[in-house]
Structure 1
Amino acid sequence: MQKVISKIGLGVFTVFFLLFVSTVFFGDYQLTETGVGLRMEGQQEHKTLFLSHAAQVIDQTYTNSISFTAALDDAFEKANETIQDTYALSSNTLETIIGEQLNKQFSIQEAFGRLDKEEKRSQWMTYAQWMDGRTYETPEALREDLLLNQENIAEAMIREKGFDQHQIDAWKYALAKEAYKGVIADHAILWFLLIYGGAVLGGLLYMLPLLFTAEGINQHHTFRQSMTYRGVLGIIFGAFLILFYIVLYFYPEHMVPWVRMVDPLSIALKGSEAGPFFLYGWLYTLCVVVMGIRMLIKWRDSKYHKVRTLSVMFFQVSFAFLIPEILQLLNKPYFDFKNIWPLDYTFFFDYRIDQMLSNGTLGIFMLVWGIILVLVGVPLMVYFFGKRWYCSWVCGCGGLAETLGDPYRHLSDKSLKAWKIERFTVHGVLVFAIIMTIGVLYTYFTSSSSFLGINTYSLRGVYGFLIGSIFAGVVGTGFYPMMGNRVWCRFGCPLAAYLGIVQRFKSRFRITTNGGQCISCGNCSTYCEMGIDVRWYAQRGQNIVRASCVGCGVCSAVCPRGVLKLENSDEERFNTPILIGNDSVELPH
């Protein structure tokens, strides 16, 4: 009977999951001039420019987001070409300037003073200042510099009057959401309740039989299942996660039906329609809660793990999801009070600082709170409780890893090679975050965009793309079914590196061993999500001193001999040699 219930639950979940995925193909896209006006309200110049090149898009019906956004791309490209043509030199003008200015001191007044349009003339006179007075002996050299100026002017004017890539990406999503028509847009609440209600029901039914299994750890054929041991189903699930993050970060216009589905929830919480990252926050929170229930059932015999699971569920629901949205309803800055720099790598960005400083007492509190957490909260809490206080009890990344990612914890690589890579990458990301933040603050206080010869805006862009998006999202979560549930925490999280350094050298917390009792069963190493070969330490009676240990306590819970213990004690206790075996061999710390 239990297997029947489980199979029914899996079937129900699969049906509604596939229905959820398929809804991105529901509905049509039809953009009207009125709709453009609504989305580009207050942007009259951009609106006029776009509409003058969007005749093939306006009032046309597209059956999918791919063809619709392709038409938008074409309209934006034509608009930008108009800007480029406005400020470009004609071929005749270019050759005339080359003929007149060759083998003499270049004069910007003579070269560009005759340009027909005043604004065009002004831009060329400004951007070509560096050419004034130079002597060009070959037409190729002069042509190259003129074309370089033309390219720079075009880029500047596109940023000012046209659409740069960042603007295009933002407008494509906004216009796609405005243009979307269909059953989900018309009945968002009904679809929301149907799909999410059905998926949650199926998930709960699937895990219900766990209540009737024996308490304690049970592998339940983990190493034989396709989903949990790098089989076809696991690869498919991982591919879906990777694709989801790529679309979320870079092509959100293709998930508009999913976003429209959560609009009613967003309006109820913050008084405005949802965006792609509201959808992500909702899905993230739902996964933590539902899979958290699974963890509560699985660890029902362990008070420590039940409290720890309830903690990550609480912090995700309240601090990471509800409070930031309610703050927006009150016209306050979006702020996750549990998110700490450098994990929250944008905390010291200029727009964030200005936003907090402009929001009175609450904004000042947010700024001071964030700084105190970094400088005082982290070292103090790690000293007393180890990095587990954050990584296993509070952090949203850790919360998802401990709930949704728990079925994959045994896939973490325990090899020495993996450990070497881990130490290099995680500390490398921390150094990158520190340098990037120093550059950002330097720009904020000096208004200079160059720090040690590096453009700080480019630096933050590279960090956001490589670390914030690709590493933390696409790889960090998408690789759960291939590399285990703590890929980001182990190899990339800069805050985990900071916490680990403090824990390694100054903390009262350790996982200690009861020397001589280890029977080398390997349970501890198998279930260590951070890739620590715990058995190696236990066999030698050594305490677990690895900086990466998040103190989840699973190794202790699955040990049949009680060898491992989570302990907060005097630091001297951890430096005492441990006696093991009949010969009482002393091993150093």
Structure 2
Amino acid sequence: MQKDANLSIANPHPKDADVWQKLGLAIAGVGLLVLFLSWGNVPIPAAMGLTIALVGIIGGTTLYAYRLYMRQPAGIKNNGVWFKSLINRGALGWIAGIILTGFYVLLYWYPEYIGYKPNGANEGFVALFDPLSQFFKGKPASQWFLYGTLYTVSILALGIKFLFKYRHNSYQLKRTVSVIIAQLFLAYLVPEILEGLNYNGQTIDGHGIYYDADIKNVWPLDYDFFYGYHLDAMQQEAYQPVGVLYLIIGIAMFLLVTPILTYYVGKRWYCSWVCGCGGLAETAGDPFRHLSSKKLSAWKLERWLIHGVMVFVFVMTAATVYGYFWNTGEVFGLNIYNTFQKPYGFLIGATFSGVIGVGFYPMLGNRVWCRFGCPMAGYMGIIQRFKSRFRITTNGGQCISCGNCSTYCEQGIDVRAYAQKGQNIVRASCVGCGICSAVCPRGVLKLENGPEEKRHDLPPIIIGNKSVELQD
């Protein structure tokens, strides 16, 4: 029998890209090239250029991923992850991190360098997105429209890649489709269409009801939800009845929906099935998940940081609401904007969640923000840890200590330590992504929702010096 040079018994994983993979890379490369050329002010017709860029990136990535994973047997292949420069903090990883970080710095603080002109015609990179913005809203693109479009394209294209890679696992397929739909519709299309329907040129302090608004974001993640301009905008007659409905839904999501759903299914309903930050982490960030630190010191830092941010946003919001209803810009003699809102927006809203949270994927893993900073994750984590039905059950007798579960836990949980003892995993930081279960070769781990009773206790089987015995 003739052997395929790239696929044999000794080497069941295709080594070299075939012609279709190369074609897919070429198509995606053309799409990226158009983006870079537009950034350099190369005169490209905006409508045609944007179409080539978006279709090229999505289509090329899909073709490449299809040929890459469909040539392999079903199952998760993480071969050689510690030997690839891009995903093991090598030279390519540092270059990617610097580029991502630099892009976020320009996006947040120097948008004029990517072509955004608030008082004139856009240029370069931002101008490329003007036709799409005009289609949705009847006005030129902003840097945030550009970012939202690229963000959505990234989750869509790399989400399709993720679906091919994890095609044998129904849980991964369902939650990936969920985050793609949530980002495409709830975070992108619906807000842009609503703004186009309601936008009439009126703004409050330069902002409207849908400014920087993702309708699936919930306070405290959407930290400016209770800012004065936002509350005013939601009460504007021009925005009714959507404005009041948006206000009611936002409050209900925090007070009722979030705790109830977290009680029944854990924080995974949001962090792994809905959230845009989690969606990008699970798709674009999937190759970097093994870079999360599993050290005890990282766990200690995680608890201090995420709960510190959560306290910060609670205090800031309390001061903001007080200032709004009592018509004062101060609380206890402190200027609310300069003392609370501005520092939080700069340090947490921009630097931590954006620049570090995404820019540092190649250095610190794909869930830096979710693990160390997200106040929404911190809020749900407390509920999940002390009052929830969610847990990951383990069958210690089947564990072979391969370490796959710990290696690929993006939240830095040492899953193997629990599995070896046969203990249920009940951690505030767990986002229920299910990758630990998916990569386990023995079926040791299982995501479950069950009665609260005994979910923290040891299971009925104990493995120790007396071999295996039943627990009383």
Aligned-pair distance for 1:585?
Answer: 7.0
CA distance in 1, matches of 2:384, 2:333: 35
Q: Give me the whole-angstrom Cα distance separating, in 2, the residues matched to 1:324 and 1:408.
A: 30
Residue 196 of structure 1: how far off its partner (Å): 2.7
Within a 5 Å distance, the mapping from 1:456-495 to structure 2 comes to: 456-458=336-338, 459-495=340-376
Measure how far apart 1:441 and its partner are.
0.6
Distance in 1 (alpha carbons) for counterparts of 2:241 and 2:62: 44
Counting only pairs closer than 5 Å after superposition, residues 162-173 of structure 1 correspond to structure 2 as none
Q: What is the correspondence of 1:199-218 to structure 2 with a 5 Å cutoff?
A: 199-208=57-66, 209-218=68-77
Q: Distance in 2 between matches of 1:341 and 1:298?
A: 33
The reply to whether residue 26 of structure 1 matches residue 41 of structure 2 is: yes
Quick one: distance in 2 between partners of 1:330 and 1:7?
43
- RMSD (Å), alpha carbons: 1.7
Q: Does the 8 A contact of 2:323 with 2:329 survive in 1?
A: yes
Q: For 2:281 and 2:456, how far apart are their aligned partners in 1?
A: 32
8 Å CA contact 2:422–2:458 kept in 1: the answer is: no
Superposed, 1:56-71 pairs within 5 Å as none
Alpha-carbon shift at residue 580 of structure 1 (Å): 2.6
Equivalent position of 1:294 in the other structure: 161
Higher helix share: 1
Q: Which amino acid aligns with 1:279?
A: L
CA deviation digits over 1:224-269, x for unaligned, max 9? Answer: 1111111111111111110110000011111111111111111111
* 1:360-379 → structure 2 map (5 Å cutoff): 360-379=240-259
Q: Hey, what's the Cα distance between the residues in 1 that align with 2:244 and 2:192?
A: 19
Distance in 1 (CA, whole Å) between partners of 2:433 and 2:470 is 30
Is residue 421 of structure 2 the alignment partner of residue 540 of structure 1?
A: yes
Alpha-carbon contact 2:61-2:161 (below 8 Å) kept:
no
Q: Which amino acid aligns with 2:426?
A: V
Amino acid in the other structure paired with 1:584: E
Find the aligned partners of 1:9 and 1:328 in 2 and give their Cα distance: 35
Distance 1:236 1:202 in 2: 23
Matched, 1:416 2:296: yes
Aligned match of 1:338: 216
Q: 2-side partners of 1:307 and 1:21: how far apart?
A: 34
In the alignment, what sits opposite 1:329? 196
C-alpha displacement of 1:586: 5.1
One-letter amino acid of the structure 2 residue matched with residue 566 of structure 1: L
- Report Cα offsets for 1:149-182 as digits up to 9, x if no partner: xxxxxxxxxxxxxxxxxxxxxxxxxxxxxxxxxx
TM-aligned CA deviation for residue 19 of structure 1: 4.4
Of 564, 568, 573, 2:445 maps to 564
d(CA) in 1 for partners of 2:274, 2:262: 13
Q: Which runs of 5+ in 1 are unaligned?
A: 28-182
Distance in 2, Cα, partners of 1:526 & 1:482? 15
Q: CA deviation at 1:576?
A: 4.5
**CA offset at residue 21 of structure 1?**
2.3
Give 1:516 deviation, angstroms. 1.8
Counterparts of 1:71-90 in structure 2, within 5 Å, are none
Task: Confirm whether residue 525 of structure 1 aligns to residue 406 of structure 2.
Answer: yes
In structure 2, what is the Cα distance between the partners aligned to 1:399 and 1:292? 8
Whether contact under 8 Å (2:58, 2:156) holds in the other structure is: no
Tell me the distance in 2 between the aligned counterparts of 1:526 and 1:481.
15
267 and 19 in structure 1: CA distance in 2 versus 1, 3 angstrom threshold: closer
User: Is 1:3 paired with 2:17?
Assistant: yes
Counterpart mapping for 1:45-444 below 5 A? 183-184=43-44, 187-208=45-66, 209-256=68-115, 257-331=124-198, 333-334=209-210, 335-358=213-236, 359-444=239-324
Q: CA deviation at 1:363?
A: 1.2
Percent identity among equivalent residues? 52
Deviation track 1:380-405 (CA, whole Å, cap 9, x = no partner) reads 00000100000000000000000000
Question: SS state of the match for residue 572, structure 1?
Answer: coil
Q: Provide the rounded CA distance (Å) in 2 between the counterparts of 1:318 and 1:201.
A: 20
TM-score by length of 2: 0.88
Give the TM-score taking structure 1 as reference length: 0.71
What are the superposed Cα offsets for residues 518-541 of structure 1, whole Å, 9 maximum, x if unpaired? 110001001101110100111111
- 1-structure distance, mates of 2:451, 2:275: 26
Instruction: Please state whether the residue corresponding to 2:81 is helix, strand or coil.
Output: coil
Letter in structure 1 aligned against 2:294 = K
Partners in 2 of 1:565 and 1:472 — Cα distance? Answer: 30
Which amino acid in 2 is paired with 1:545?
A: V
Q: What is the rounded CA distance, in whole Å, between the counterparts of 2:51 and 2:215 in structure 1?
A: 30
Residues of 1 paired with 2:434 and 2:147: CA distance?
29
> What amino acid maps onto 1:3 in structure 2?
A
Q: What is the alpha-carbon distance in structure 2 between the residues aligned to residue 525 and residue 450 of structure 1? A: 47
Structure 1 residues 18, 234: CA separation in 2 closer, same or farther (over 3 Å shift)? farther
CA distance in 1, matches of 2:46, 2:38: 12
SS at match of 1:584: strand
Gaps in structure 2 of 5+ consecutive residues:
1-5, 7-15, 116-123, 200-208
CA contact (8 A) 2:34 2:52 kept: no
Cα deviation per residue 1:61-91 (whole Å; 9 max; x = unaligned)? Answer: xxxxxxxxxxxxxxxxxxxxxxxxxxxxxxx
Report SS of the residue matched to 2:263: helix
Give the whole-Å Cα distance in 2 for the aligned partners of 1:198 and 1:330. Answer: 30
